[in-house]
Structure 1
Amino acid sequence: MSELNEKIRQQLMEWAEPDFGTFSAGLIPGEKHVLGVRLSLLRSYAKELAKGDWQTYLSQASDDSMEETMLQGMTLGYVKSDFTGIRPYLDAFLPKIKNWSVCDSTCVSLKIARKEPEAVLEYLLPYLRSDEEFFIRFGVVMLLDHFIMEDYIDLVLEEMDKIHQDAYYVKMAVAWNLSVCFVKFRDKTLSYLRTDHLDDWTYNKTIQKIRESYRVTKEDKEMLLKMKRKAEK
């Protein structure tokens, strides 16, 4: 283990809260190595690492705990580089994503998508068409975090409609994405939901998540309830 990795691990162990780790692990099926480090601490540490020799860190980083992997994704989001510089490290990192928590914390950190949207969008499309559950979720959540805006809403809806992967964390991400689309672009999303090609489960989960939003009117919630499909495939 490199000296930097050992230093990182020792710092994470100092911050670890075993009870919080047990609680967090219960929310992340299949993840057994959760230290219990608060996200706020990880984000602060990632910002610090991003200011140093982040290339060497990411090239040698360990993945013995979920937090070590999560820290890498966050660091990628904070580095001062163009997308060309980030891309090879992102290529190497994405196969390490094995749960929704690492996926989503990475996506929200990647603000480079706001600076170079076209380059990032081109990068995302193959992941959206992948057969791997967390590659697809990465693409869906990236669109949710950075592309639900006037210039890209049509593309986001189109891409959601193309996804037919029967994987829980993909379907949940699509429903979450579409619920945000509805909040931000009600009419376009409502029109889409009247003509979509979603499976029944994802469609009904989308309706549910929209109705759970405090930013949706009571009238719309009542209308959407009537739009639910009776049978789920």
Structure 2
Amino acid sequence: MREEILRELKELAESDYKEFNSSLIPGVDKDKTLGVRVPLVRKTAKKAARKDWEKLLSELENCPQEAGGVGGTALYYEEVMLQGMVIGAAKMDAERRLSYIERFIPRIDNWAICDTFCGDLKFADKEENRQLVWNFLQPYLSDEREFFVRFGTVLLLSHFVDEEHIDSVLRLMEGVRHEGYYAKMAVAWTLSVCYVKFPEKTEKILRNGSLDNFTQNKTIQKIRESYRVSKEDKQRLNLLKRK
């Protein structure tokens, strides 16, 4: 099945988009990207999820992500993204999906794969799965690996910034201590979304000195970039930036 999917993706590839997209994702080998736009990858993934998705995921899981690996030709960037999308779209129970997710997370090595994957895990929004997913993501927030931390953080951002969880989300974000750029940026992004939805609660975090300087300033920057925050609030928050 992988050969069939790869053939479809290559037919959708655009050379100009390949150059543009590769420039936005540090660390991704341009030679292992095709140049397929995300909506088209998602459309292909949804179609694949209605077929023999178990066989496809098995084939993809057994392919190396890096050149020189054991198991076949190294995956293209879009194939890794599609793998995550199929995990999110295929019909299966929550426990089994979490098993696939757990095996997929080590393949996340850039912000684009991480953020797209987290956003596509819609099963996390179903009431019967909320506590299960909440418990599942907790260890990732304190992991030593940068993109494991980003995964846990963006999953919170994508599915748990709500009235029920906001106090816990803010407390968890205060506790993230990973020094990696993409982990810190994920925390800043999450806090900026928290501010838009729960400004008073989130501003307390910005005033209590619990964040490191980088995260504090990036959070304020991202809040100030939002069209849903008033000019007055932006001016007040700007005074909380650190040198």
TM-score range, shorter chain: over 0.9
How far residue 82 of structure 1 moved from its aligned partner, in angstroms, is 2.2
1:60 match: 59
1:188 match: 201
Is 1:48 the equivalent of 2:47?
A: yes
1:109 match: 120
Q: Secondary structure at the match of 1:151?
A: coil
1:158 match: 171
Following the alignment from structure 1 to structure 2, what is the Cα–Cα distance between the partners of residues 157 and 179?
11
**Structure 1 pair 81–196 and aligned structure 2 pair: CA distance change class (3 A):** farther
Maintained 8 Å contact 1:134/1:170: yes
Maintained 8 Å contact 2:206/2:240: no
What amino acid maps onto 2:107 in structure 1? K
Is 1:121 the equivalent of 2:134?
A: yes
> Which moves more between the two structures, 77-86 or 97-106?
77-86
1:215 match: 228
**Structure 1 pair 55–196 and aligned structure 2 pair: CA distance change class (3 A):** farther
Maintained 8 Å contact 2:115/2:154: yes
The TM-score with structure 2 as length reference comes to 0.91
How far residue 44 of structure 1 moved from its aligned partner, in angstroms, is 0.9
How far residue 81 of structure 1 moved from its aligned partner, in angstroms, is 2.0
1:145 match: 158
Structure 1 segments, 4+ long, off by >3 Å, are: none
2:102 match: 91
> Which moves more between the two structures, 117-126 or 82-91?
82-91
The TM-score with structure 1 as length reference comes to 0.95
Choose the corresponding residue for 2:83, options 51, 72, 83: 72
Could you tell me which runs of 5 or more consecutive residues in structure 2 were left unpaired when the two chains were aligned: 66-74
Residue by residue, what CA displacement relative to the aligned partner does 1:198-220 show, whole Å, maximum 9, x if unpaired? Answer: 11011001011001101000110
Choose the corresponding residue for 2:26, options 18, 24, 29: 29
- Seq. identity, %: 50
How far residue 196 of structure 1 moved from its aligned partner, in angstroms, is 4.3
**Structure 1 pair 114–196 and aligned structure 2 pair: CA distance change class (3 A):** farther
Cα-Cα RMSD: 1.0
**Structure 1 pair 109–196 and aligned structure 2 pair: CA distance change class (3 A):** farther
Maintained 8 Å contact 2:142/2:177: no
1:202 match: 215
Choose the corresponding residue for 1:20, options 17, 21, 43: 17
**Structure 1 pair 200–76 and aligned structure 2 pair: CA distance change class (3 A):** same
